[in-house]
Structure 1
């Protein structure tokens, strides 16, 4: 049960980090990547790009955090007899 709660906590941390990265991307990406300002393509393109990348970033962050936790826990278990 403790491992399940830890994984859920790491997933929540990954979701928070993904949200922060998505907000930063929306603030920092130049409009020239998505079209002209007058068509509205800039805003829609940026939003859809972030929406497409967010699930991938979330899954990668969750995997990295869980693997890091498992490695750290495994090393700690080897040190503690």
Structure 2
């Protein structure tokens, strides 16, 4: 895909991201962190944006709802 993008005229080429995705630091973990992992950087403490005091409560609520949905769907599939 990147080869195709680079073949476009310069003024039509999208910006190809480099480096880490900055919004990923707001990714919210659902469930407990693993006690043993090879990927410690993926298990860092969550970031709560300034000015959103309800962030943790809302994110935990959404996470629980997503897990519950998957569990219900899994029961119907099996």
Greater helix content: 1
Higher RCO, 1 or 2 (CA under 8 Å, sep at least 6)? 1
TM superposition score category, shorter chain reference: 0.3 to 0.5
Structure 2 length normalisation: TM-score? 0.40
